Amino acid sequence: MILGIDTSTSVCSVALWDGEKFIEWEDKNPTGHSSILMPLVKKAMDFAGGNVDTLVVSRGPGSFTGVRIGVSTALGLQFSEKLNVYSVSSLQARSYLDGFDGIRLPIIDARRERVYGACYGAMEYEEINAPFVHFLDLLKDTNEPVALLGESIEHFYDMATKALTQEVTLVETRAMAKGAIRAYLEGKFSTDLHPVYLREVEAVRRRKEKEDADSGD
């Protein structure tokens, strides 16, 4: 069986793939995933009855703390359970929408009107951290319908419907450990287990700003 983990946002998600179907568990904890991830993993492992041989984890981008917890947990399970561990993009995991032929745009709120985002389907665009208007400018050049996928992204959906002339659909995503496994099954995975943040951790950025200011004195 394949075990999937996604902790990139406020929803902590764990899933199993038994070769025929997905079994999913999730929990939303605004205070963090450190207290709820392992209990969910234990439920999945108990359900699998020791038949898990592969683990897939979303490596980011997303919540710095959440991504770090997910990846570190995967590394721990790699050794304690002797699993083959792979990583996938958190955006790729959120990109699936069966039956939709337009542009799939999964986004994760990066604050200050910025998002982690990438385009899949009728338009391909690499994952970046950018102001959401950057994606709106890209989409203005096409008439393809757009599916905006993510969690608690109504604000960006409103921006998109006002700025774009084509049809825009809002898709609320939640249990994305399933999407992580789908990405793995499609071969869109890596053996690199380093978290992907797409921007500096806030503390590092502030320290660099202070160092630059001090050097200019």
Tell me the CATH number at 116: 3.30.420.40
Are both 7 and 80 inside the same structural domain? yes
Are both 69 and 17 inside the same structural domain? yes
User: What integer pLDDT is reported at residue 210 of this predicted model?
Assistant: 65
Least confident of 28-32, 96-100, 129-133, 195-199: 28-32
Helix ranges, the chain (H): 37-48, 64-80, 90-93, 132-139, 154-163, 177-185, 202-215
Q: Do the domain assignments include residue 208?
A: no
The tens digit of pLDDT for each residue in 13-37 reads: 999 999 999 999 998 875 567 789 9
Are both 66 and 24 inside the same structural domain? yes
Give CA–CA dist 201/217, Å, rounded. 25
Q: Report which secondary-structure segment, H or E, holds 195.
A: none
Are both 76 and 32 inside the same structural domain? yes
Give CA–CA dist 121/96, Å, rounded. 9
For residue 119, the enclosing domain spans 95-172
Q: Do the domain assignments include residue 6?
A: yes
What's the whole-number mean pLDDT along residues 204-213? 64
